[in-house]
């Protein structure tokens, strides 16, 4: 069944309307016809099973047949990702969405490439949101990750008080296995983390000063193994391991 996106405010009522690129894709690319079944996702947990009611050049009208409300994914995982080169960052956004990250926070670090001006950073954040939307529709998750504009490491650290367990993928000698960090947390609190955050550095990794700042903020180093991974591979592995170890379906 084909999936489309409408923001929550546009998903009220028994009749919905696709416009713009969504209408073009439905009507001109897929050539949907009245009576065909489609799914609409609102990115906030709602899945609407619909039937095509009418198609014209500017809009596709849908009749809602079934409402499904999905609970937020638990745990709520945040990926704090050092801004990478365009293609790598796009890939990270896509895969993080597929793997159910609740937030993807782009971080400017000393070794981040490229270095974006403020206006360009806003444009790039809008592009990342579009990539996340397409990934959400492709994999069928009803939850769209939050992707704020890129910010310096110090600013992101100051905003991360909500994470109950913060980790950083690192090659330092003190980095422990993820399973051991999770076991330590469970022993200390009696429960698994509900809102973990994982930090992944740029090509060349975080600088020693940045790693020291993360450590002072209580971020614990974990190892992803003996090999030096590309930043996009490290992001994928980190999220996949967290999903596995925390038992997310």
User: Quick check: pTM over 0.85?
Assistant: yes
Task: CATH number of the domain at 144, please.
Answer: 3.40.1280.10
95 token code pair: 């895969």
pLDDT digits (tens, 9 = 90+) for 159-203: 887 789 999 999 887 888 999 999 999 999 999 999 999 999 998
- Whether residue 203 is found in the same domain as residue 85: yes
Of 15, 44, 69, the residue at which a domain comes to its end is: 69
Among 59, 77, 56, 64, smallest CA distance to 242 is for: 77
22 token code pair: 């969504």
- Whether residue 89 is found in the same domain as residue 207: yes
Quote the Cα angle for 141-132-15, to 5°.
60
The dihedral over CA atoms of 129, 243, 81, 181, expressed in degrees to the nearest 10, equals 160
Task: CATH number of the domain at 8, please.
Answer: 2.40.240.20
CA distance 136 to 140: 6
pLDDT digits (tens, 9 = 90+) for 96-117: 999 999 999 999 999 887 666 6
- Whether residue 62 is found in the same domain as residue 106: no
- Whether residue 65 is found in the same domain as residue 124: no
| Number of folded domains that form the chain | 2
The parts of the chain modelled with pLDDT lower than 70 are 114-119, 248-249
**Which residues on adjacent β-strands are paired with residue 218?**
none
**Which residues on adjacent β-strands are paired with residue 198?**
79, 167
Provide the residue range defining the domain that includes 62: 2-69
């Amino acid at each position: 069944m084909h999936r489309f996106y409408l923001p929550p405010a546009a998903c009220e009522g028994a009749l919905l309307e696709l416009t713009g690129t969504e209408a073009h894709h439905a009507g001109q690319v897929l050539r949907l016809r009245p009576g065909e079944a489609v799914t609409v996702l609102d990115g906030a947990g709602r899945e609407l099973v619909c039937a095509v009611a009418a198609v014209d050049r500017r809009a596709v009208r849908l009749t809602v047949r079934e409402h499904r409300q999905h609970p937020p994914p638990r745990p709520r995982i945040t990926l704090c990702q050092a801004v990478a080169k365009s293609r790598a960052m796009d890939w990270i956004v896509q895969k993080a969405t597929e793997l159910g990250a609740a937030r993807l926070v782009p971080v400017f670090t000393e070794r981040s490439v490229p270095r974006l001006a403020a206006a360009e950073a806003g444009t790039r954040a809008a592009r990342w949101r579009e990539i996340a939307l397409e990934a959400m529709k492709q994999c069928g998750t009803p939850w769209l990750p939050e992707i704020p504009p890129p910010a310096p490491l110090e600013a992101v650290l100051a905003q991360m008080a909500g994470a109950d367990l913060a980790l950083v993928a690192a090659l330092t000698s003190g980095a422990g296995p993820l399973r051991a960090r999770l076991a330590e947390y469970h022993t200390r609190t009696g429960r698994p983390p509900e809102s973990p955050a994982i930090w992944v550095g740029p090509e060349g990794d975080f600088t020693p000063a940045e790693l020291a700042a993360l450590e002072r903020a209580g971020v614990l180093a974990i190892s992803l193994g003996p090999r030096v991974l590309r930043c996009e591979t490290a992001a994928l592995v980190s999220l996949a391991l967290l999903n596995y170890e925390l038992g997310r379906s």
